[in-house]
Chains A and B, each alone.
Chain A
Amino acid sequence: MTSRILVVDDDTALAEMIGIVLRTEGFEPVFCADGAKAVEEWRTQRPDLVLLDLMLPGMDGIEICTQIRAESGIPIIMLTARSDTADVVRGLEVGADDYMVKPFNPKELVARIRTRLRPVTAATSEVLRIGDLVVDVDAHEVRRGTMPIPLTPLEFQLLVALASKPQQVFSREMLLEQVWGYHYKADTRLVNVHVQRLRAKVELDPDLPKIVMTVRGVGYRAGSVS
């Protein structure tokens, strides 16, 4: 089965070129050049992943990302011409899973897409416990008691990574490699922002985290099972 990818970019030449690259790699690209129609297009096409340019006519990428995130945990990769802090962090904060700074090369693009489409895998397919949560890897479900907590695939993957090795402290670099597939030092803001988003969903009090614990100066680890 080929994965369908929605490319939201107002630059038709770039969109077409991305389409060529994606088709070569066996994906099925669909396009949208107008920001105002992007969310609608996403609803009708039901793609497996969205490549989203941040600067668009009609509606900007941040707003589109917010709207899609409100309905779905679908992987979103931002395309940005600016590596400026504010834009990237804003995009991550509204739920984009990853970002790519233009200009990027085709291999990098394909690698990022494949990582996001990869099914979540854990060392064991058992039910994992972290804090007062139950993580059912096979069923893709996180529960507190009987209440399921909806997570995006990325957040789920982040939680599984921590829960599958409860004794280990994960540095941001390790998480970047394991969850985002970066094999070199990348932007640790990715980890920081997504840990914040994950905490907002799973912690009872995000200011006093019990599930995703911070280890000062090192990184994060799973909270002890209670």
Chain B
Amino acid sequence: MTATSATGTTVALWRDWRGWPETIATAWRRSLRFRIISITLLLTSFAIFVTSLTMALVIQNNLFESRRDEVLSDALSAVGSGQKTLDSAEVTDDASALRALWGDVRDEIPRASSSSLIAAFAIDEPPVGTGVRGFTTGLSADLLSPGLRERVVSFPDRQAWQSVSLPMEDGSTAPGIVVGQQLIVPEVGAFEVYIAYDLADSQQTLRFVQSTLWVAGLILIAIIIAISWAVLRTVSKPIVEAAETSARLASGDLEVRLPVHGEDELATLARSFNAMADSIEAQIKELGELSLVQQRFVSDVSHELRTPLTTIRLAADMLNDQRDQFDPTTNRTAELLHTQVQRFETLLADLLEISRYDAGSVQLELEATSLTSLAEDIIEQMLPLAQGRGSELRLVAPGGYTPVDMDPRRVRRVLRNLVGNAIEHGEGRPIVVTVDSNQHAVAVGVRDFGLGMDPEDAQRVFDRFWRADPSRQRTIGGTGLGLSIALGDAKLHGGTLAVWSELAVGTNFVLTLPRQPGDLTGASPVSLEPEEVLSEVSHATQPMQLTELRELYFTDSMSNAEEDTP
């Protein structure tokens, strides 16, 4: 199976030639090795090709020239020996003797020459009856160009030569040279003698040399590629290693180091890298220690401050319990002491919580909890406070009943804070707590119809110790840190805490918690912009309260119609 599919892949890869340019471009971009090898391959191939070509041409030339010189001298000596025979003979008018002499010459020339392809033509028409005529042995007159013959005729003392294709016995042709020169026959006149030489041997030598050259060139290219591959490997392997090590370092593995070999540039790279890693590790360790020191400090401050505060708290409470026995001034003093110690206590608790967030030492204690029942609890808890302010607390819960992992202590604290804020700024109007869920998240919205804020102010509600209206008195006794802590709690859950507010319309806070940590996608189940959702949701669940609420909302808006239209 595997083999078949592998072959299939290969075939598919080969067939998918359209993708090649893309693949090559990617490899070129991504791989230093591929790029350098390609360049090396291209340049060396070109250089070797040019060198081989030049060498082949030079060798061919030399071979030809030496062969030609050899052929010329061979022809010269052959014809020369024929001439000598002619010159040394005692020539009379005896035609028969002359014929016999000519016959000797005809035998002499092939014997003295290394080729048997010979042709001779009379330049001037020989006297009739001498019997001395031109002849050809294996060399056809057709092979001789008129130019060659003309040159031979015109220059009696010189040899002339020409390259020709010699027909072979098997019908093919072979390269050859024809050399021509004059032979003077006494009493008869001048003859042109041509001797053709076969260059097949030289041709074969040349071919052998050339093919050797090309093969050598290819082997050379292969060797160069192999060498550059090997060299590149030694260079690029440490680079790849360094890249991988950096990646591991970046992903938090501070212990990794590069091996250092020798003292070359790569070793320098490795050493500097290791020095960098050392320094980073040291700094991170130092930061970690600082954070530990900070956490310990927070914890110590907690202990040191809380013990005397407990004593003060106990004393203040004791005094407060007995304050009816005091005169009015001391009575009031004891009461003030009591309330302010309580305030100090909450402030301290909030400060410690905030500094825990800053130190990053906060941990969630997850427990499957139903957000709806949690909201019910909080509403029940906050009911006395709300009634004291004339606000009605309402719960609208189309969803959020199934338990979701959360830290109930923290979520409770966030909700208590949000509902408390809503009561404080709700101007005695109803407060609607909406709980809903979707595939990814559960959410709770706390909506009041009170004072509201500018959108710019709303952006700052999570700032520490920030107040929308500094002149406004704190009555419920918030510390100014509640919403910062609430935001911290939401973020710790991987959730969000968002605010919507409008002056004279009201405020809506929405806390959204993911079902799975880190899986907070899409919109929150409870919309931040409250109106439409309120009507939809309330229609479905509590229509009576909705109409009441809408009437209330609209009449309220009407009464403020000058400055605000719904």
Which A residues fall within an 8 A CB radius of B? 11, 13-14, 17-18, 20-21, 24, 55, 81-82, 84-85, 102-107, 109, 184-185, 217
With A102-B307, A102-B309 already in contact, the answer to whether A17 and B315 are too (CB < 8 A) is: yes
Contact with A along B388-431 (1 / 0, CB 8 A): 00000000000000010000000010000000000000000000
- Least CB distance from B401 to A in Å reads 13
Partner of A20, one of B299, B318, B403: B318
Main secondary structure of the interface of B (DSSP, over half): helix
A-B contact count (CB 8 A): 57
Given contacts A106-B317, A217-B368, contact A14 B299 (CB under 8 A): no
Give the one of A11, A14, A85, A109 with max B CB within 10 A: A14
A85 to B306, CA, bound (A): 17
A82-B303 Cα distance, complex, nearest whole Å = 7
Q: Indicate which residue in B307, B363, B381 contacts A85 across the interface (CB closer than 8 Å).
A: B363
Q: List 14 A-B contacts (CB under 8 A).
A: A14-B307, A14-B311, A14-B314, A20-B318, A24-B318, A81-B302, A81-B303, A82-B302, A84-B299, A102-B306, A103-B312, A104-B313, A106-B314, A106-B317
B-side contacts of A85, CB under 8 Å: 363, 365
**In the complex the two chains form, what is the Cα distance from A109 to B317 in whole Å?**
12
The listed residue (B302, B311, B368) touching A13 by CB distance below 8 A is: B311
Q: Which residues of the partner chain B approach A184 to less than 8 Å between Cβ atoms?
A: 381
Q: Is B252 an interface residue (CB 8 A)?
A: no
Q: A185-B377, A217-B403 are in contact. Are A21 and B306 (CB under 8 A)?
A: no
B289 to chain A, nearest CB (A): 20
Within 8 A of A (CB), among B350-367: 363, 365
State the CA gap A57–B520 with chains docked (Å): 48
B310 within 8 A of A: yes
- A104–B303 alpha-carbon span in the complex (Å): 13
User: Which residues from A are CB-within-8-Å of B315?
Assistant: 17
Q: Which of B51-70 contact A (CB under 8 A)?
A: none
B566 contacts partner chain A, Cβ-Cβ < 8 Å: no
- A187's nearest neighbour on chain B, judged by CB, is B409
Does B303 lie within 8 Å of A55, measured CB to CB? yes
The interface centre, meaning the residue of B303, B306, B317 with most chain A CB atoms within 10 A of its CB, is B306
- The answer on a CB contact under 8 Å between A106 and B318 is yes
Q: Could you tell me the distance between the alpha carbons of A17 and B315 in the complex, rounded to whole angstroms?
A: 7
Which B-chain residue is minimally distant from A100 (CB atoms)? B310
B556 at the interface (CB under 8 A from A): no
Distance from A111 Cβ to chain B, minimum over Cβ atoms (Å): 13
Contact with A along B282-316 (1 / 0, CB 8 A): 00000000000000000100110011111111110
Is the CB of B278 closer than 8 A to any CB of chain A?
no
In the bound complex, residues from chain B placing their C-beta under 8 Å from that of A106 are 314, 317-318, 321
What residue of chain A has the Cβ atom nearest to residue B322's Cβ? A24
A102 and B318 form a contact (CB under 8 A): no
Q: Are B317 and A105 in contact (CB under 8 A)?
A: yes
Report the nearest B residue to A109, measured CB to CB: B314
Given A17-B315, A21-B318, A217-B403, is A103 in contact with B310 using a C-beta cutoff of 8 Å? yes
Q: Which residue of A lies closest to B368 (CB)?
A: A217
10 other A-B residue contacts (CB within 8 Å) besides A24-B318, A106-B318, A184-B381: A14-B308, A14-B310, A14-B314, A21-B314, A82-B299, A102-B309, A103-B306, A105-B314, A185-B412, A217-B403
Q: Does B457 contact A (CB under 8 A)?
A: no
State the Cβ distance, B410 to closest chain A Cβ, in Å. 13
Q: Closest residue of chain B to A104, judged by CB? A: B310
CA distance A24 to B365 in the complex (A): 39
CB contacts (< 8 Å) of A17 on chain B: these are 310-311, 314-315
Residue of B318, B365, B368 with most chain A CB atoms under a 10 A cut-off: B318
Known pairs A104-B313, A106-B317; A11 contacts B307 (CB<8 A) = yes
- Nearest CB of B to A161, in Å: 22
- Chain B 227-266 against A: per-residue CB contact (8 Å), 1 yes, 0 no? 0000000000000000000000000000000000000000
Q: Which of B303, B310, B381 has the most CB of A within 10 A?
A: B310
Tell whether, in the assembled complex, residue A103 and residue B363 are in contact, meaning their CB atoms are under 8 Å apart.
no
Give chain B nearest CB distance to A57 CB in angstroms: 13
B345 within 8 A of A: yes
Contacts of B306 in A (CB 8 A): 81, 102-103
Complex CA gap A24/B377 in Å reads: 35
